[in-house]
Amino acid sequence: MGAQLAQKARLYGCTIEELPLLYPYQYIHKLFPAITETVSFLGLASAWKGPYKGLQMVYTGGINRDNLAAAAAFDRSGIFCGSALTKAAPDRAGMRSEGEKWLALLAEKNQE
């Protein structure tokens, strides 16, 4: 993980410390898979965020409505996505409906 951030910093001609200030959209890491049938990797994010303060995480792979609230409990600022969001494709209304259900779950979790 640190090697990826170091590589990004080198490509942009800055240090890892400067990366989130100069290129915040590059100070992000994707955790894939986030959850499998038998294992959750969500706890890795907090380990990575220790030395890399302000690191934004994208959680994908295995995220669905059934585990979204639990996943969001690990990282309130995380970005959560999964193929479950596109199961209704190409039905736009169905995709919108699924997205709204995800947002409602996250809003409910944030009020706790």
What pLDDT does residue 110 have? 75
What pLDDT does residue 53 have? 86
What pLDDT does residue 2 have? 81
What is the CATH T-level fold of the domain 27-110, as seen in this structure?
TIM Barrel (3.20.20)
Tens digits of per-residue pLDDT, 52-99? 888 999 999 999 999 999 999 989 889 999 899 888 889 999 999 999
Q: Comparing C-alpha atoms, which of 7, 26, 104, 20 is closest to residue 65?
A: 104
pTM: 0.83
Residue 1 clears pLDDT 80, i.e. is over it = no
List the domain boundaries for the chain. 27-110
